[in-house]
Structure 1
Amino acid sequence: MSSVLKKSWPKFIPETLEYRLGERPLHEYLIQNATDYPNETGYVYYGNHITWKQLCESSLKFANFLKSKQIVKGDRIALYMQNCPQYLIGHYAIQMLGAVVVPLNPMYKEAELEYSINEVGIKALITSQELFPIVEKMMDQVSTLQLIITTNYRDFLSDQITLPVPNELKIPKEPSNSKSFDMLEVIKAHEPLDTTAKIDVWEDVSLMVFTSGTTGRPKAAMLTYGNALFKTAATVNTYQLNKTDRTLATAPLCHIAGMVMGVNIPVYSASTCILLTRFDVEAAIKAIEIYKINKLYTIALMNAAILNVPGIEQRDLTSLELNFATSFGMKVDEKLANAWKQRTNGCPLFEASYGLSETHTCDTFMPMDKVKYGSCGIPTYETEIRIVDTVTGEDLPTGKQGEIVIKNPGVFKGYFNNPEATTKTLRNGWVFTGDIGKFDEDGFLYFLGRSKEMIKSSGYSVFPEDVEALMSRHAAVLQVAVIGVPDEVRGESVKAFVVLKPEYKGKITELEMMKWAKENMAAYKYPRFIEFIDQLSATSSGKVLRRLLK
């Protein structure tokens, strides 16, 4: 550990990382939890208390079903649904077989789903009942998909519902169809898997997360069992999470940060997690009150929403002891932190970390005794972060801004079937992030922006090339270029400049095209602004100059 980092490292946190049950994949932690704490609650889902034994047995039974359908080690299996216990069961069942979890955003529409399945050769897909019609529409466009499993969120609700439920949990269950298997039915029909796959923790890929690195259409970052174990253990240690804690999971489990908080940390620490399908301000407040949640992960907008609820001063948030958050849509600044501390009777609020999919996120943490607002904290365990010149690649001194590059045991193996993109991003074990930052004299990292053209909208990474490819599917589009524009709520919104085909000029409006985009793209991705223009500025090689559009 460097002298600068040692100076800022909290004295109450061990300087070396030790794993609670050793270097084992997280599904083995789940199995051990079922042995050590069989009747203790692992997750609470709108009032349904799911014990470690129930979660483990359901996962082993579902794994056995997948095995009976010839799912083997290395197969890519997609999860395409909202947060729910079925997501957890699917995640761990897949990894028990040594297969690879591929999380797909439930906001994806047909074209996005089709692209993802074809990009990595998805063999099986687990989805929710309300999303199955989207799957059904594109089944003829994918060749590798052999198995579909559907589920209804109500299958894991109890009779004693304690929190407001979203509309997805009110959809009546439909009977099984010939194109898919029902998840609950196959779990009930199978015995638990007798032997899990033999895993090389640091070499075997357990997860493929779609990201775009710094440019291009989404690529699948290959992450190992060890990557997940390391970052989970590091986060548990640095934020002092333990078995007695109660956490709340509202962030999407398909997102790497939501996965760490909602899928990995409860299993690693054997703590209790209150799981919500999505963030709802009243459900979140009631969950804190009823279940006495003491450790909380949020985005800043969630904190602001809670603080602005009429009558919030009459609600009981005093169980909260720690709230680490992310600046999406608004900053986690001292003003917000002070308001939160006052309303919760002392709960500190600060920036959680800096990280990206290629490193399984959480590359930094905020020392709880040395909070610096505006920074992302200091490098976590076994982590080297450098700031380099974006042209020469040379290291820059403290205080100078440059590209953030990272090396630690969470670094991915590369992009699936994309050696060229891998070479650009991953160099001698270092991830070149494309992000701009700097260090201060105490070793705190400050994120300053992005050197590439990625758009950050509502916390999601949106890549111009991806939106452009989707927009090009519209029959009227001759050319299209996409940029990000400032948005007070989302951080950035997408704007598309469109050159129409001659035969469509005067026959379609920007509003009509925007409506089409909304119907064919994920909600965070579709352009909120469309402008028709006569031509796009481009280089001699034909590359569009997006900077001129800004």
Structure 2
Amino acid sequence: MQGTSGNAAEYFVDRHLAAGRSDKTAFIERGGNARSITYGALAADTDRMVGLYRRHGIRREDRAMMLVLDTVDFPVIFWGSLKAGVVPIPVNTLLSADLWEVILDDSRATALFVSSELLEWAAPLVEREGLKVFVVGGDPGPHLDFGAELAASDPGPSVDASPDECAFWLYSSGSTGRPKGVRHVHSSLQATSDTYASKVLKIREDDTVFSAAKLFFAYGLGNAMTFPMSVGATTALLAGRPTPDSVFDVLEKTRPTVFCGVPTLYAAMLAGMNGSRPEGLDRLRICVSAGEALPEEVGTRWREKAGVDILDGVGSTEMLHIFLSNAEGDICYGTSGRAVPGYELRLVDENGQDVEVGEIGELLVNGPSAADGYWNQRDKTRSTFEGRWTRTGDKYELRPDGRLVYCGRTDDMFKVSGIWVAPFEIEQALVSHPAVLEAAVVPAHDESGLEKPRAFVVLKGGAVDDALAAELRDHVKERVGKWKYPRWIEFVEELPKTATGKIQRFKLRQLEGEVQ
């Protein structure tokens, strides 16, 4: 049971000491200088974070930017910040240095924590106005050493925070524009654990979790930190990029029971299996996918080859984690499932009216983990957060059985012959062809100025020729309808994506003038 304070660190960290989990491993790293940390050591180190902030004049409600890889330093800094009343801001470590500057300036963070592997690109940030302390984990060079600073700091008590008090920020991926600072309160963290983690994922104390999605994403933060910590489970961490080879290595070395990935990674891992079942999948009881809708073909092939199902779900930075999902015993690949217990969903038309079964509408969600708004973007806050309801910007179709089928982002939808076309439906049809690894579909204008589907296709291998393009067009006609086939098919080496694995269709739409 949570204590009298609304400070989330009390529930996720300190509660485990009284529960007798002090000696249990909370996090274990994979890689070169692998470390691990127990729940007891995590509690002690997060107490020392309070002293570290005091020593450097960082006060309650100040902000601390985190350019920190998935190492044991991450939970120490994050939860220690909450204990101190400082607002941690985990930032995408794969962004360009100029975007780091934008986020640092926008957030007005007074403390910056950096993993030494990123120091070459992050070092210029030390000169930014308003920054009081610059701390480096690993090899610090001329900067403050995180380990030494922590050891030199006396432990301090957690602040007594309100459940509605701002706890941390996450910056949106910025796939279609400038990143937005999304502000979340203390109670949102437990809200996602009490809903999705408890009632859909059914997280257990004896689980070992590995999330390929990083901790600085809302999806990864829940998967690899708050969910396992809500029950005292163990998390395996990978500091490097999650390639199929590196992920297979972690799976083999740590034998997790829960694996969380994104559709692009699952497709790439299937392509790398070469017909055999890799080591490390034997203890998996469930897998999770989010970030983009999981193609039906990928889900069914993964179940066949890996021997375990994928729970495909939908979440957002604004809602902190998944609010619409398939569930064990209720999996239907090709759909996003049903509302997670604790959340309400609506599909509305352009006039805000609920759509009927079989119709397409924009998805709105109401739930306990909604963000407190965007930082310094009032108009965007007002257009996204409408009272109890949050606009997702996603279009879905309501099926008779109550499941929702993803159609695309609101900005990605377009009409052909006066009928709405869902790019994802065409993409699923393309991916179901044995030669196709990935596909993205955007509108393009024909010689009459009318919009028609244009496909960008990544192949698993083999020769590219006109015959294959014609074969793919016929394949789409047979699967989803004759009028939906892509008029143009372009074979590419890779698709533009965000670091979360989401396809950046807006970049493909910018190639309008290059249609042949």
Q: TM-score range by the shorter chain?
A: 0.7 to 0.9
Which letter maps to 2:209? T
1:256 corresponds in structure 2 to 218
Does 2:318 match 1:358?
yes
2:131 corresponds in structure 1 to 145
Q: What is the CA–CA distance in structure 2 between the aligned matches of 1:274 and 1:332, rounded to whole Å?
A: 27
Which letter maps to 2:8? L
1:379 corresponds in structure 2 to 339
Matches within 5 A, 1:82-481: 82-140=69-127, 142-152=128-138, 173=139, 175=141, 177=142, 180-193=143-156, 195-201=157-163, 203-211=164-172, 216-237=177-198, 238-277=200-239, 278-307=241-270, 308-309=272-273, 312-313=276-277, 315-326=279-290, 328=292, 331-333=294-296, 335-344=297-306, 346-351=307-312, 353-390=313-350, 392-452=351-411
1:57 corresponds in structure 2 to 44
Asked if the contact 2:291–2:315 (Cα under 8 Å) also holds between the matched residues in 1, the reply is no
Task: Give the secondary structure class of the aligned counterpart of 2:50.
Answer: helix
Q: What is the CA–CA distance in structure 2 between the aligned matches of 1:431 and 1:444, rounded to whole Å?
A: 19
Asked if the contact 1:26–1:268 (Cα under 8 Å) also holds between the matched residues in 2, the reply is no
Distance 1:386 1:547, change over 3 A: farther
Q: Per-residue CA shift, 1:237-267, capped at 9, x if unaligned?
A: 1211110111113211111101111121121
Q: What is the CA–CA distance in structure 1 between the aligned matches of 2:499 and 2:212, rounded to whole Å?
A: 19
Q: Which runs of 5+ in 2 are unaligned?
A: 414-422, 425-437, 439-452, 460-495
With the length of structure 1 as denominator, give the TM-score of the two structures: 0.71
Distance 1:487 1:125, change over 3 A: farther
Give the C-alpha shift of residue 216 in structure 1: 4.8
Asked if the contact 1:437–1:446 (Cα under 8 Å) also holds between the matched residues in 2, the reply is yes
Q: What is the CA–CA distance in structure 1 between the aligned matches of 2:7 and 2:204, rounded to whole Å?
A: 19
Asked if the contact 1:25–1:229 (Cα under 8 Å) also holds between the matched residues in 2, the reply is no
Q: What is the CA–CA distance in structure 2 between the aligned matches of 1:261 and 1:399, rounded to whole Å?
A: 33
2:474 corresponds in structure 1 to none
Which letter maps to 1:298? G
Q: What is the CA–CA distance in structure 2 between the aligned matches of 1:388 and 1:526, rounded to whole Å?
A: 25
Q: Give the CA RMSD over aligned residues.
A: 3.5
Residue-pair matches, total: 434
Asked if the contact 1:215–1:452 (Cα under 8 Å) also holds between the matched residues in 2, the reply is no
2:489 corresponds in structure 1 to none
Q: Per-residue CA shift, 1:281-305, capped at 9, x if unaligned?
A: 3443343334331111112333334
Asked if the contact 1:236–1:269 (Cα under 8 Å) also holds between the matched residues in 2, the reply is no
| Greater shift in the superposed pair: 204-213 or 361-370 | 204-213
Distance 1:34 1:310, change over 3 A: farther
Distance 1:322 1:215, change over 3 A: closer
| Greater shift in the superposed pair: 116-125 or 27-36 | 27-36
Give the C-alpha shift of residue 210 in structure 1: 1.4
Q: What is the CA–CA distance in structure 1 between the aligned matches of 2:215 and 2:291, rounded to whole Å?
A: 18
Distance 1:356 1:263, change over 3 A: same
2:477 corresponds in structure 1 to none
Q: What is the CA–CA distance in structure 2 between the aligned matches of 1:244 and 1:350, rounded to whole Å?
A: 20
Q: What is the CA–CA distance in structure 1 between the aligned matches of 2:395 and 2:506, rounded to whole Å?
A: 27
Q: What is the CA–CA distance in structure 2 between the aligned matches of 1:99 and 1:489, rounded to whole Å?
A: 45
Task: Give the secondary structure class of the aligned counterpart of 1:112.
Answer: helix
Asked if the contact 2:291–2:500 (Cα under 8 Å) also holds between the matched residues in 1, the reply is no
1:33 corresponds in structure 2 to 16
Task: Give the secondary structure class of the aligned counterpart of 1:364.
Answer: strand
Give the C-alpha shift of residue 123 in structure 1: 1.1
2:441 corresponds in structure 1 to none
Q: Per-residue CA shift, 1:384-406, capped at 9, x if unaligned?
A: 1111112x112212221111111
With the length of structure 2 as denominator, give the TM-score of the two structures: 0.76
Q: What is the CA–CA distance in structure 1 between the aligned matches of 2:367 and 2:504, rounded to whole Å?
A: 36
Q: Per-residue CA shift, 1:349-402, capped at 9, x if unaligned?
A: 231x11111111211121211211111111112211111112x11221222111
Which letter maps to 1:146? K
Q: What is the CA–CA distance in structure 2 between the aligned matches of 1:283 and 1:303, rounded to whole Å?
A: 13
Q: What is the CA–CA distance in structure 2 between the aligned matches of 1:59 and 1:452, rounded to whole Å?
A: 43
Give the C-alpha shift of residue 197 in structure 1: 0.8
Asked if the contact 2:238–2:250 (Cα under 8 Å) also holds between the matched residues in 1, the reply is no
| Greater shift in the superposed pair: 275-284 or 93-102 | 275-284
User: Identity percentage over the alignment?
Assistant: 19
Asked if the contact 1:129–1:151 (Cα under 8 Å) also holds between the matched residues in 2, the reply is yes
Which letter maps to 1:132? L
Give the C-alpha shift of residue 452 in structure 1: 2.7
1:42 corresponds in structure 2 to 26
Give the C-alpha shift of residue 420 in structure 1: 1.6
Which letter maps to 1:31? D
Asked if the contact 1:222–1:414 (Cα under 8 Å) also holds between the matched residues in 2, the reply is yes
Give the C-alpha shift of residue 430 in structure 1: 1.2
Q: What is the CA–CA distance in structure 2 between the aligned matches of 1:251 and 1:272, rounded to whole Å?
A: 16
Asked if the contact 1:298–1:326 (Cα under 8 Å) also holds between the matched residues in 2, the reply is yes
Give the C-alpha shift of residue 125 in structure 1: 0.7
Asked if the contact 2:370–2:390 (Cα under 8 Å) also holds between the matched residues in 1, the reply is yes
Which letter maps to 2:395? I
2:432 corresponds in structure 1 to none
Task: Give the secondary structure class of the aligned counterpart of 2:196.
Answer: helix
Give the C-alpha shift of residue 526 in structure 1: 13
Asked if the contact 1:73–1:97 (Cα under 8 Å) also holds between the matched residues in 2, the reply is yes
Give the C-alpha shift of residue 20 in structure 1: 7.6
Which letter maps to 2:342? E
Matches within 5 A, 1:477-492: 487-488=456-457
Task: Give the secondary structure class of the aligned counterpart of 1:192.
Answer: coil
Q: What is the CA–CA distance in structure 1 between the aligned matches of 2:368 and 2:217, rounded to whole Å?
A: 20
Task: Give the secondary structure class of the aligned counterpart of 1:363.
Answer: strand
Distance 1:145 1:486, change over 3 A: farther
Q: Which runs of 5+ in 1 are unaligned?
A: 1-18, 153-172, 460-483, 491-517, 532-544
